Amino acid sequence: MMFETWWLLALPLVFGLGWMAARFDLRQLISEQGALPRSYFKGLNFLLNEQPDQAIDAFVEVARLDPETTELHFALGALFRRRGETERAIRVHQNLATRPDLPEPEREHALYELGQDYLRAGLLDRAEESLRRLMSGPYAASAKRVLLELYEVEKEWLKAIDAARELQTLEQKDYRVQIAQFCCELAQDALQKKKPEDAIAWLGRAREENPANVRAPILLGDVAAAAGDLPGALQHWLAIESQDAAYLPLVADRVVKAYGALGEQGKALDWLRGLLKGNLAPELLDTAYKTELEVNGPEGATALMREQLRRQPSLLALTRYFEAQAAGQAADGTGAPDAQSQETAAIRDLLQLRTRNLARYTCRECGFRARLFYWQCPGCNRWETYAPRRSEALG
C-alpha cells in the first residue's frame, strides 16, 4: 500500500519536470531563431526551391548584417567559385584572410580557399603565393596537392617533381607514376632543344622511378632516331612488345618509317601481319593497310583486308577493303567509271563517313574521349588513364 501511494505522488513530479524541460527547450529554440536574420531563412527557402541566384543574394545580406558568420562566408566563397564568379570568391576569402580577429585555423582555411580561387581565375603566381604560406599545419597536404596541379598547368616539371616527392612523404602515397611522367616531359623538352644527353638522363630517371613506364622507351627510340641510329631506335620500340604489347600501336608508324629508311619494308610488313593475327588488329589496321598499299599496291591491300575480314570482321577493315578496291578500279580504268566502280566508291564514301566519327580513346577516370592518345587526360588531368585501345567496337 505504501509503494502505491509513493508511485502516485511521484507521477505528478515527473510530469512537472518534463513540462519544465520542454518549456526550456522551446524558449531556447525561439531565442535562437529570433537571433537569426530573416534573410537566412529566405536563403534556405530559395535553396530548397532550387533558386541559387536568389539564395546567394539572401546569404550575402546575412553576411553583411552579421560579419562574424565566418562559416557562411566560406560557404558563399565556395558557391561563387563553383559558379565561375572567381572575383567575388576572391573578395570573400580575402576579407576573411585579412581580418585581425580571425583565429589562425580559420585564417589558414581562408588562405587555402583563396589559393584555389586564384588558380581557377588563372592568377597562378598569386595562387602559389597563398598556398606557399600553408606548408605546415592541417592544410599542408591539401595545399601541396593544389600546388602540384598548379605546377602541371604551368609545366614547371622540376617543381612538380619536388611537390610530388613531398606529398609522397606526407601522405605515404605512391606518386611514382606521376614523377616518371614529369621526367619524360623534361626529356621531351630536352629533345626539342637538341639536347639528347639531357633527354637520355631524364629518361633513365623515369625508368628508375617507374620501370613499367612505356613512354620512356618510346622517347629513347626517338632520341636514337634523331641521332641517325635507326637500328638502335628499332631496338627500343620493338622491345615494348615484351613490356606491354598494348602500346605497340603508338610506335607502329615509327617502326615502319625506320624499316623503310633502312630499305627493309618487307620486315615491317611481316611484323605488322604477325600483329594483325592478335588482338591489336583494330589499332594497327590503318598502319598495315597504308604500308601494304605502298609496297604491293591496291591488289595487295585488298587481299590483306579480305583476309582480315575473314579473321576478325570490323567496320574499319570493311572500310579499308572498299578503299583498296576503289583505288584498284581507279588505277585500272582508262575511261569513264562504270557502274561497279561508282557503286564501290559510294560504299567507300559512306563507310569513311561512319568510321571518321568513331571515338578512339576514352579516359577510364572521367570518360573524356579523344581521337589522339594523351599521356595526361585533358579532361581530368590524370596521368596514364588512356588505354592505347579503341574505346568502341568497330564491327
Q: What is the DSSP-derived secondary structure letter of residue 284? A: H
What was the pLDDT predicted at 345?
73
What was the pLDDT predicted at 19?
45
Give the CATH class of 174-239.
mainly alpha
What was the pLDDT predicted at 164?
94
**Residue 274 has which C-alpha cell?**
604477325
What was the pLDDT predicted at 18?
53
What was the pLDDT predicted at 393?
41
**Residue 180 has which C-alpha cell?**
616518371
DSSP 210-261: -TT-SHHHHHHHHHHHHTT-HHHHHHHHHTHHHHHGGGGGGTHHHHHHHHHH
Instruction: Please identify every stretch of the chain with a pLDDT value under 50, giving residue numbers as ranges.
Output: 1-3, 6-7, 10, 13-14, 17, 19-35, 41, 47, 63, 65, 334-336, 393-395
In the chain, what are the domain boundaries? Answer: 174-239, 246-357, 359-395
What is the C-alpha to C-alpha distance for residues 107 and 258, in angstroms, rounded to an integer?
A: 60
What is the C-alpha to C-alpha distance for residues 95 and 82, in angstroms, rounded to an integer?
A: 19
Q: Model pTM?
A: 0.73
What is the C-alpha to C-alpha distance for residues 294 and 287, in angstroms, rounded to an integer?
A: 11
Q: How far is CA 395 from the centre of its chain?
A: 28
User: Long-range pairs for 158-167 at CB < 8 Å and ≥24 separation?
Assistant: 158/186, 167/141
CA distances from 118 to 83, 126, 130, 138 (A): 14, 6, 9, 20
- Residue 384 has phi, psi (to 5 degrees) of 55, 45
What is the C-alpha to C-alpha distance for residues 322 and 357, in angstroms, rounded to an integer?
A: 18
The alpha carbon dihedral of 80, 81, 85, 91 has a sign of positive
Q: How would you class 246 by CB atoms within 10 Å of its CB: exposed for 0-12, middle for 13-18, buried for 19 or more?
A: middle
Instruction: With both helix axes pointing from N to C terminus, report the angle between 281-311 and 265-276 in degrees, rounded to the nearest 10.
Output: 70
User: According to the annotation, is 366 in a ligand binding site?
Assistant: yes
Burial 47-79 (b: 16+ CB within 10 A, else e): beeeeeeebbebbbbbbeeeeebbebbbebbbb
Q: How far is CA 76 from the centre of its chain?
A: 28
What was the pLDDT predicted at 208?
96
What was the pLDDT predicted at 352?
66
* Whether 164 contacts 178, CB under 8 Å: yes
